[in-house]
C-alpha cells in the first residue's frame, strides 16, 4: 500500500482512503470492466460532476481498461482500488487538462444527447485552441484555466470482458488501441503535453508501422505549435526585463 502511494505521488497523484474495500486487489489486466461512481471537484471543494446526481439520476461510470479512455488518469487510479473501496485522488494539472471535454460528453449523455454534441464540427485540438464554448460556464473556465482536480471514486464492480487468447478478439483489440492512442496523442498535443503526445504516437507506430506518415505529420504539427507558443510567449514578455530602457521621470506627490 505504501509503495503504491509513493508511486502515485511521483506521478502527481495523491490518494486519500475514505473507506477500505474487500477482498484481494485485482491484477486489472486489459479488458477488465470497472464500474464506479465518481465526484469531480475543484481543490476548493466546488463540485463539477457527480455520477449519483448527474442528469437527475444515479448512473455509475463504466470503463473497459486498456481502451485508452481520453481521461487516462481514471484508469490509473481505479487499478489501485479494491471492490467496494472509496477513495479521493488529487491529480495534478497534467492529468486533468482534458477533463472539460470529457465532462461535456458525460453531461450530454446524462440528458440523452449525443456525447459529441458541441464537438462534432471541430476536433479537440481546434476546440482547445479556439475559444469555443463547451456550453457550460464552469467547464469554459476550467478549459481556460487548467488546474488540479479531486476525484472521489467508489469502485462498485470489477469483471473480465475480453478473451485475450482469441485471435479475433486480439485483432479487434489492437485495431481499437491504435485508434485510441492516435486520438489521445492528438488530444495531448492540443494542450502542449509533448512528452505524453510523443509516447502515444510511438505506441501507434509500435502497433501499426503503416501509419508512420500520419504520425510524422502529427509530430511535425506538434513541433510547429510548440514553436509558435514559444514565440508568442517570447513576444509577450519582450522588453519586460529591458534594463537599458530609460526610467520614467519621477513625480512628487503630496501626501495631502
* 82 within some domain: yes
CB of 185 within 8 A of CB of 197?
Answer: yes
Torsion of CA 64, 37, 148, 45, to 10 degrees: 170
Of 119, 218, 156, residue with least CA distance to 19: 156
Q: For residues 37 and 138, state if they share a domain.
A: yes
* 29 within some domain: yes
Q: For residues 151 and 61, state if they share a domain.
A: yes
Cα–chain center distance at 18: 23
* 122 within some domain: no
Q: For residues 55 and 141, state if they share a domain.
A: yes
pLDDT at 14: 97
Q: For residues 27 and 142, state if they share a domain.
A: yes
Beta bridge partners of 16: 88
**Total number of domains in the chain:** 2
> How deeply is 22 buried, as exposed, middle or buried, from its count of CB atoms within 10 A (0-12, 13-18, 19+)?
exposed
pLDDT at 124: 46
3 state SS for the chain: CHHHHHHHHHCCEEEEEEECCCCCCCCCCCCEEEEEEEEEEECCCCEEEECCCHHHCCCCEEEECCCCCCCHHHHHHHCCCCCCCEEEEEECHHHHCCHHHHHHHHHHHHCCCCCCCCCCCCCHHHHHHCCCCCCCHHHHHHHHCCCCEEEEEEEEEEEECCCCCCHHHHHHHHHHHHHHHHHHHHHHHHCCCHHHHHHHHHHHHHHCHHHHHHHHHHHHHHHHHHHHHHHHHHHHCCCCCCCCCCCCCCCCCCCC
pLDDT at 115: 61
Q: For residues 181 and 157, state if they share a domain.
A: no
In the block, cell 486519500 appears at: 16
175: CATH? 1.25.40.10
Q: For residues 100 and 23, state if they share a domain.
A: yes
The Cα–Cα gap between 228 and 230 comes to 5
* 249 within some domain: no
CB atoms within 10 A of CB 78: 25
48: CATH? 3.10.50.40
Q: What is the pTM of this model?
A: 0.64
* pLDDT tens over the chain, length 256 residues: 678 888 999 999 999 999 999 988 998 988 898 999 999 999 999 999 999 999 888 899 998 888 778 899 999 999 999 999 999 999 999 999 999 999 998 998 888 776 666 654 444 444 444 457 889 999 999 999 999 999 999 999 999 755 444 445 545 555 667 788 888 888 888 888 888 889 989 988 887 777 888 899 999 999 998 888 888 877 776 655 555 555 544 444 444 4
Q: What residues make up the domain containing 206?
A: 167-232
Q: For residues 52 and 173, state if they share a domain.
A: no
Return the C-alpha cell found at 93.
494539472
* 255 within some domain: no
Q: For residues 156 and 172, state if they share a domain.
A: no
* 207 within some domain: yes
pLDDT at 15: 97
The Cα–Cα gap between 37 and 84 comes to 11
Amino acid at each position: 500500500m505504501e509503495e503504491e502511494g509513493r508511486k502515485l505521488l511521483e506521478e502527481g497523484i495523491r490518494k486519500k482512503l475514505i473507506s477500505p474495500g474487500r477482498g484481494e486487489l485485482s491484477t486489472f489486466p486489459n479488458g477488465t470492466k470497472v464500474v464506479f461512481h465518481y465526484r469531480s471537484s475543484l481543490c476548493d471543494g466546488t463540485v463539477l460532476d457527480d455520477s449519483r446526481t448527474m442528469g437527475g439520476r444515479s448512473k455509475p461510470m463504466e470503463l473497459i481498461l486498456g481502451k485508452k479512455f481520453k481521461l487516462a488518469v481514471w484508469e490509473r487510479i481505479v487499478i489501485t482500488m479494491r471492490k467496494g473501496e472509496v477513495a479521493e485522488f488529487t491529480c495534478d494539472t497534467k492529468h486533468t487538462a482534458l477533463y472539460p471535454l470529457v465532462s461535456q460528453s458525460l453531461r450530454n449523455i446524462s440528458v440523452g444527447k449525443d456525447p459529441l454534441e458541441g464537438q462534432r464540427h471541430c476536433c479537440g485540438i481546434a476546440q482547445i485552441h479556439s475559444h469555443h464554448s463547451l456550453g457550460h460556464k464552469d467547464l469554459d473556465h476550467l478549459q481556460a484555466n487548467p488546474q488540479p482536480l479531486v476525484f472521489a471514486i467508489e469502485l462498485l464492480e470489477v469483471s473480465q470482458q475480453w478473451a485475450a487468447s482469441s485471435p479475433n478478439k486480439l485483432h479487434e483489440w489492437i485495431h481499437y488501441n491504435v485508434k485510441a492512442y492516435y486520438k489521445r496523442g492528438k488530444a495531448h498535443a492540443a494542450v502542449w503535453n509533448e512528452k505524453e503526445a510523443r509516447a502515444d504516437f510511438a505506441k501507434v507506430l509500435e502497433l501499426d508501422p503503416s501509419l508512420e506518415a500520419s504520425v510524422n505529420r502529427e509530430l511535425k504539427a506538434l513541433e510547429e505549435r510548440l514553436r509558435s507558443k514559444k514565440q508568442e510567449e517570447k513576444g509577450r514578455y519582450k522588453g519586460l526585463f529591458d534594463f537599458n530602457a530609460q526610467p520614467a521621470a519621477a513625480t512628487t506627490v503630496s501626501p495631502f
